[in-house]
Amino acid sequence: MAHPEILSWDDRLRSAGLRATAPRRAVLRLLASWARPATHAEVARALEPDAWDRATVYRNLCDLAEAGILTRSDMGDHVWRFELARAEEHGHESPSAHPHFVCTTCGEVSCLPDLALPVERVPVAVRTGKVEVRVHGVCDSCAA
- The correct pick among 30, 62, 103, 131 for binding Zn ion (CB under 5 A) is 103
Residue 50 or 114 having the CB closest to Zn ion: 114
Residue 30 or 111 having the CB closest to Zn ion: 111
Closest to 76 in 3D by CA, of 41, 114, 37:
37
Phi, psi of 80 (to 5 degrees): -70, 135
- The correct pick among 20, 111, 126, 131 for binding Zn ion (CB under 5 A) is 111
Residue 103 or 131 having the CB closest to Zn ion: 103
Which residues have CB under 8 Å from 116's CB, separation 6+? none
State the SS3 of 22-35: HHHHHHHHHHHHHC
Under the rule (CB under 5 A), what is the footprint of Zn ion?
83, 103, 105-106, 111, 139, 142
